[in-house]
């Protein structure tokens, strides 16, 4: 990289609207080595006050948060991770910090740093963040953008996260997989047992599929009815197909009785699988479109399978 290239990259990072942090991953404390201007504005701390420290201090005494454990697990596995954390600015004001960390490796393939991307998620809330004294143990559903029926993500939130992970995959030339899932003959199940039973089946299937995507960077959302979509960063096509097959198998193992299915005596799913290493001119919708095409193939091939 030339000196001019370095200058341009630094200007891009400094001009970024989201906070960007670089931490040293070669020491147990993960000390900060760089922050951009947006992160200084987000937290109220200057770069001089942040460099050399572990960012856990932004949690204050509010340490009982699920995101902490998810970050630790991702760091142990040297994987990317996205969490939502309650942080506190220099003046003590609380805010919801949407954090994504990405591991960076040296030429020898050894983990050297973590890049962190930080954004104030409070602007997406309809209600103001809880005061410090309240310190809720769980962020509001509106913040998490949860589907009310299943507790999974909404499509809008999944697409927002997919765009960000797509950019990372383009930069790192890593794979990303998408899955389109449809519960087979759900209309007949509803007609047989009623809408409430159908909603219960959707919840069970959704949670079952989520169990096949256990990494914190994997995201699954309900589209409508019994239709679901998911994506998993860093997953090549062969592994993606195995995951799709596992989804279909695990749903069969639920043995949700469905006497009118015409496929099995139990609820089953069809899964469309697509995976790619994004090129510079590719868009994430391309991957979802391909997964939808493969879902149609799975249905035409008899359902109860992954294609």
* Predicted pLDDT of residue 84: 84
For 43-81, the pLDDT digits (tens) are 999 999 999 999 999 988 877 777 788 888 888 888 888
Radius of gyration from C-alpha coordinates of the chain: 21
Q: Kindly state which CATH superfamily the domain 153-300 is placed in.
A: Reverse transcriptase/Diguanylate cyclase domain (3.30.70.270)
For 73-107, the pLDDT digits (tens) are 888 888 888 888 888 998 888 888 889 999 999 88
Structure-token pair, residue 8: 């341009």
* Predicted pLDDT of residue 9: 73
**Positions in the chain whose pLDDT score sits under 50:** 125-143
Q: Do domains 3-140 and 153-300 have the same CATH topology?
A: no
* Predicted pLDDT of residue 5: 61
* Predicted pLDDT of residue 134: 39
Reported for 248-251, long-range contacts at CB under 8 A and 24+ positions apart, including other chains, are 248/304, 248/305, 248/306, 250/208, 250/209, 250/211, 250/212, 251/205, 251/208, 251/209
Order of all β-strands in the sheet with 269-276: 153-154, 219-224, 227-233, 176-183, 269-276
Reported for 66-73, long-range contacts at CB under 8 A and 24+ positions apart, including other chains, are 67/99, 70/216, 71/99, 71/101, 73/216
Q: Which CATH class is domain 3-140?
A: alpha beta
Going from N- to C-terminal start, the domains of the chain cover 3-140, 153-300
Q: How many CA atoms lie within 13 A of 250 on its CB side?
A: 17
* Predicted pLDDT of residue 85: 83
């Amino acid at each position: 990289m030339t000196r001019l290239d370095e200058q341009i990259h630094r200007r891009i990072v400094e001009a970024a609207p989201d906070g960007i942090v670089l931490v040293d991953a070669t020491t147990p404390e993960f000390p900060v080595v760089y922050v951009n201007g947006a992160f200084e504005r987000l937290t109220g701390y200057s770069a001089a006050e942040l460099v050399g420290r572990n960012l856990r201090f932004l949690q204050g005494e509010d340490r009982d948060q699920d995101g902490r454990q998810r970050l630790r697990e991702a760091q142990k596995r040297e994987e990317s991770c996205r969490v939502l954390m309650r942080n506190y600015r220099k003046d003590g004001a609380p805010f919801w910090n949407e954090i994504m960390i990405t591991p960076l490796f040296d030429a020898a393939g050894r983990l050297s740093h973590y890049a962190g991307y930080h954004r104030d998620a409070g602007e997406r809330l309809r209600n103001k963040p809880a005061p410090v004294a309240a310190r809720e143990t769980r962020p509001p559903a509106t913040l998490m953008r949860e589907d009310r029926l299943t507790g999974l993500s909404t499509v809008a939130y999944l697409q927002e996260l997919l765009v960000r992970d797509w950019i990372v995959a383009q930069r790192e030339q890593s794979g990303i997989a998408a899955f389109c899932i449809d519960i087979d003959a759900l209309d007949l199940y509803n007609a047989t047992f009623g809408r409430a039973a159908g909603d219960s089946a959707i919840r069970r299937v959704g949670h079952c599929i989520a169990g096949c995507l256990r990494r914190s960077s994997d995201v699954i959302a309900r589209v409508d009815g019994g239709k679901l979509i998911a994506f998993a960063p860093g997953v090549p096509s062969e592994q993606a197909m195995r995951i799709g097959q596992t989804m279909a198998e695990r749903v069969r193992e639920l043995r949700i009785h469905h006497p009118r299915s015409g496929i099995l005596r139990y609820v089953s799913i069809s899964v469309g699988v697509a995976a790619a290493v994004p090129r510079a001119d590719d868009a994430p919708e391309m991957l979802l479109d391909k997964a939808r095409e493969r879902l149609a193939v799975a249905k035409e091939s008899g359902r109860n399978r992954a294609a």
